[in-house]
Every structure is written in structure tokens, then in C-alpha cells.
Amino acid sequence: MRGAVDAGALLRQLLLGARTAAAMAREDPARLVVLASRRAPEAWRGRLSDLLAGGAGRRGTGRRGTGRRGTGRRGAGLPGVLAAWVRGDDDAARAAVAAHLATGRARRPGPATVLAAEIGVQLDVPGAERAGTAATRVRALARRGDLSDAVAAAGPGTTQGRRLAAERTALTPGTVLAPSRRAASARRPSRGDRTGDGGPPRVLHLLTTSLPHSTSGYALRSHEVLRAQRRAGIDAVAATRPGYPVDVGRLAVAGHEVLDDVVYHRLPARRRPPATGARLRDHADAALALAREERPDVLHTTTPWSSAVVTRAVARDLGVPWVYEVRGVLEDTWVASFPPELRARVRASERYRLLRARETELTRAADRVVVLGETVRDALVARGVDPARLAIAPNAVEDRARTPDRSPARARRALGLPTDGFWVGTVSSLVPYEGLETLIEAVATERSAGRDVRACLVGDGVARPGLQRLVVERDLTDVVLLPGRVPAAEAGRWYQALDVVAVPRIDAEVTRTVVPLKPMAAMALGRPLIASDLPALAEIVGRPGAGLLTPPGDAAALARAVARLAADDDLRRSLARAGRAYAATRTWDAVGRTYRTLYDGLIEDAS
């Protein structure tokens, strides 16, 4: 990693953050507490949660809880609400909010009630907004996607109303950013100017986040794509959103950082306007200033829609083509973040309709669209995107990852895990739509039948506390492990420790369409799979014969599949061979060549 820390930029970002926090404190202190408590460093949140939980215990039973089902009196009162919220245990926080708001104290207005109501709105607790302020009730409407109703409730002339109206306008198809004041001096670049003979295509990627400050699937794929493009002879660099990574608590920021020969520029944020359109304009201005220095032949961005709006504006001002990489179906991912009982309502909301229409408009406007699999490609064609402008660049693996270097038992020994038993699990973000509760129930079923089946769920996310609680309830603490997040470089060791990798996703619009990364890593390492029978997973698991498919949410069927594989060494080997053969056709180097062909064609068309 290289890149000198820019002390001046750091100071500006800290002052910007302080001013933003001060403005929020004046306008809406309860919301500031709610948001800031979740964004504090993990170690701080853990200590604060323990302190609050201790206070709740003294108010209730006088002792700390065991972590089993329910919070009892320990979860009563605001300390119990905050303790669960801060540690990220959304299920416990929902129960604590509901219990607190049901008490007589909650019916009397006060800061504690308002704070509990704010958390309740964030967690979709029914009726929580009624115990909060008028601003809380507006936020509840906006969160559920009722933007126009929220604007009307806030009052179009209020700060909150103007902010929501600006968000609605930015989401509305047909809204474009006006040309930048810098556009007049931006000249279309010439490859010949740089090299004399055309030279390699130069591409600027406009990203939201990146390694090493974020380790999400988004950041990991972006990094592998950039590395693959550079190996394919593409002069590719990237820029992250303005203010990142300071806005996620990383203070040692440089103007740019270099990781594995990939340059990540950090766009500065000179202000933080509340209106969505103004933020997008500032983002476009910062990106255009960088693009004038880098002089790219092509701009490349990814979902979400806001990045596409910015990239389209910068490409227009520069006079260069742009590529939109659709990695997921944003509106369906948003719906999947709600409790099951609310999903039909939010899918019928104004925000959902606007998100879907906006994403459709932008995919149709881009010069080329990249997708990760056939399911997304087919969905976009159905929305009117020209198939000739669509390219598939799937999730992939490195060539060297295709040869496993140890058996599951040896890998477990190296990690300090028990070598006994048949292990099933995953390395993933622990979020609700991954359906990992189904896997835990399947393990419980198999152990009840007398089979030594164990599990390891590697990763972190909002679903982890609930999964931990379920493990305790099913008396599986010794055989179902949740070691937390591991560095990306170590993920392969944990895959190798598993006899079978499970992808038990729930049946939702987002999981039916979006192709995940984890099955490819498992296949490359010679591990058979069990996956939910959904179109996106059938495409990469069922069709190449790399694993067994089971009905989503069916723990009994998943348990039967685990038992079948545990008893049949030949079947496991056959599935592993098919998976490794399929992974051999999907390497990052092949993906890099796909991008090279795409960019060369775009540049030729633009000449």
C-alpha cells in the first residue's frame, strides 16, 4: 500500500464531519444518536453494549442474561433497547423497543421514548413512530417508501420536506445533472496524444467503496476486476465516492492509495449538502476534475443508480462513452431488507416504483451494460435493454485457486478446529436473505438423528446475533461455530475446512436474480455445494452439476442433502470435479479479456 497521508485533506474531512454532526445535533439529536451509535468502531460498540446491558440487568432481574430466547426484564427500558441496538442484535432490539413502548412510561413524551421510537422506526417495529416526534413519523413514511406522503407530512417548506423532495426528484426518471461549469474546458482525450499509436484503453472506474477500508463483496469484486483489467493491458484506475473512507471512520486518508498495483483515488468532499441532487452535483464535479487529469477513454461505474447518474453526466461533459455494471437488482435488495410481513407493502411503494424505473432508464442510457449472469441479463432484456449492448462478466476465480492444497480435516487442524465430524457451512456476509437459519435447523435435525454433522458460518452482518441466539437455543454451541469476519486473504482456508459449502438463500426477488460470488470460490477449491433451487443458483450450481439443489427454506430437505453427501464419498468427489471444471472456465483473466474486447469496441465506435 502506498500513498502519503494528506494532512490538509484529513483536517478538512474532520471539520466537515464535525459540522455535519453539529447540524444534525441541532436539527434532530435523537437521529444523530441512533445513527452514530451504529457507526462507532466495533470494539467501542461492544464495550458500550456491555455497559448498557449491565444497567438494564440491574433495573430488571439484577443479573446478566444468558443470551437465550427473549430478553426478559433484562431488555426492559431504554438501556436494554440501546444495548441490543448498539451490538447489532436487531431481533432483540425489536423486542426491547416493543416492550418499552408498551409501558406506561412510553406514553409520556420524553427523550427516552423518542430515542426508542427512532430505533423502532429503523427496525420497522409496528406503530413505533406514534411514540416519536413529527420528524420520526415522517421518517417512518419515507423508510417504507411513501416519499410523497412524507414530503406532505413534513411540509414542503421545512428542511426535512425539502430534503425528501430533492431525493424524490433525483430518483425520478428523466432527471439529469446540468452540465458542469468545468465542462467547457474538458477536452475529449485522444489515445494517440498519449502514445502516438493508440495504446491501451484508459478506463476510470467510479466506485462507492473499495479495499482495504471495506471488505464487502462489492469491494472484493471491484478489486479483482481492476487487477484483471490491468493484466489484460487496460490502463485502469478507480475513484471512490467523495469523503470516503473518512465517512466510515478511516482517518488516515491519502489523496490516492495503491493496492496490488491498482490505484484508488479518494475524491474530496468540500461540503456535505443535505439535498440529494446537490450531493450528486458535487460528486460529478469532483469526478470530472479527476477525469480531466486522467483523460480516460471510457468511464465505468456500478450499481447503485446514483453512481450511474454521476457517471452519465461526467461522460457527457467529457464526450466519452460509459459502461454501467449492474451487480444486483437494487429495488429488490431494498425490499429484502424488510421483515417478511412488510415486503409486499414496500414492493408496492412509490420508492420501489421509482427505483425500478430509474435503474431501467440508466441501463438503457449506458453505452454498454455489464451483468454477472444470465438471470440478470434476461431480466434487463425484458425491461427493454438492447441485448447487443449487454455483456456478461461473471464472478470468477484466480487460476492458482483451482488446486486445493489440503483435505478438509487437514485444513481444520491448521485452523485449530476439531477434525471429527462432517462439516458444512459458508464464508459470507451474514444477512437475512442468506437463509442461514435453515442451515442451523438442518444441523440440529441431523444431530438429533445421531449423525455428527457440524457447521461453521464465517463472516459478519446484521443476522449474526440472531444466528448466535438460535445456536444457543438448539444447544449447538459446541458444533456450530461463528468465528466472525476473516481477512479476504484467509477466506480460502475456511472454505477448505468444510466438507460441503452451503448457499441456503431464501426465496426472494433479489436471490432469484443475483448471482453470488461464494459458489465460485467453493468450486475452485474442490468443495461440493448444496444450494437453494433458485434461478441464479441453478445457473451456476445445478446446471454444471457442481452441487445439490434443495427447496429454499426447507430445513428437512437440506438435512437430507447433507446426509446424502456425508454418506457418499463418490458423489462428493463427482460434484467437486464438475465444480472445478466449471470454475476453470471462469477465471479473472478471462473476465479481463472480456472487458478488453468491450472497451476496444466502444472506443472504436466513438472514433
For residue range 224-249, what is the model confidence (pLDDT) as tens digits? 999 999 999 999 999 999 989 887 77
Chain center to CA of 261: 25
For the chain, domain boundaries: 25-171, 202-396, 399-586
Mean pLDDT (the chain, rounded) = 87
Residues 350, 169: contact at Cβ < 8 Å? no
Amino acid 262 reads V
Name the nearest CA neighbour of 431 among 217, 151, 137.
Answer: 217
Structure confidence at residue 487 (pLDDT): 86
Structure confidence at residue 2 (pLDDT): 54
> Can you tell me the mean pLDDT for 60-69?
38
Domains 202-396 and 399-586 share a fold: yes
Distance CA 171, CA 142 (A): 13
Structure confidence at residue 248 (pLDDT): 77
Instruction: Quickly state the pLDDT bin for 21 (edges 50, 70, 90).
Output: low
> Can you tell me the mean pLDDT for 134-138?
94
Distance CA 187, CA 210 (A): 29
Residues 6+ apart with CB under 8 A from 286: 242, 267, 268, 269
More confident residue, 598 or 47: 598
Distance CA 382, CA 376 (A): 10
Give the residue carrying C-alpha cell 474531512: 13
Residues 602, 368: contact at Cβ < 8 Å? yes
Give strand ranges (E) for 441-479: 453-458
Name the nearest CA neighbour of 281 among 186, 202, 179, 196.
Answer: 179
Amino acid 211 reads L
456 — phi, psi (to 5°)? -140, 120
Instruction: Quickly state the pLDDT bin for 606 (edges 50, 70, 90).
Output: confident
> Can you tell me the mean pLDDT for 129-140?
93
> Can you tell me the mean pLDDT for 445-455?
98
Tell me which range, 14-23, 44-53, 54-63, 388-397, is most confidently predicted by mean pLDDT.
388-397
> Can you tell me the mean pLDDT for 22-31?
63
Which parts of 497-587 fold into alpha helices (H)? 509-513, 518-524, 535-537, 555-567, 569-584
Tell me which range, 45-59, 105-119, 231-245, is most confidently predicted by mean pLDDT.
231-245
Q: What number does CATH give the domain 399-586? A: 3.40.50.2000
Angle between helices 29-39 and 77-86 (to 10 degrees): 40
Distance CA 12, CA 591 (A): 39
Distance CA 332, CA 536 (A): 14
For residue 138 the three cell numbers come to 415522517
Q: How far apart, in Å, are the Cα atoms of 300 and each of 222, 228, 366, 568?
A: 11, 15, 10, 46
Distance CA 583, CA 461 (A): 27
Amino acid 314 reads V
Please tell me the pTM assigned to this model.
Answer: 0.88
> Can you tell me the mean pLDDT for 495-513?
95
Residue 163 pLDDT exceeds 70: yes
Distance CA 471, CA 481 (A): 9
Residue 70 pLDDT exceeds 50: no
Distance CA 152, CA 138 (A): 9
Lowest mean pLDDT among 102-106, 251-255, 469-473: 102-106
Distance CA 179, CA 365 (A): 17
Percent of the chain with pLDDT over 90: 67
Residue 307 pLDDT exceeds 90: yes
Distance CA 386, CA 369 (A): 9
Instruction: Quickly state the pLDDT bin for 69 (edges 50, 70, 90).
Output: very low
Residue 61 pLDDT exceeds 50: no
Chain center to CA of 23: 28
> Can you tell me the mean pLDDT for 387-398?
95
More confident residue, 145 or 99: 145
pLDDT tens digits for range 183-209: 555 555 555 454 445 689 999 999 999
pLDDT tens digits for range 376-385: 999 999 999 9
CATH for the 202-396 domain, from 1.10.10.10, 3.40.630.10, 3.40.50.2000, 3.40.190.10: 3.40.50.2000
Q: What is the 3-state secondary structure (H, E, C) of 376-445?
A: HHHHHHHCCCCHHHEEECCCCECHHHHCCCCCHHHHHHHHCCCCCCEEEEEECCCCHHHCHHHHHHHHHH
Instruction: Quickly state the pLDDT bin for 72 (edges 50, 70, 90).
Output: very low
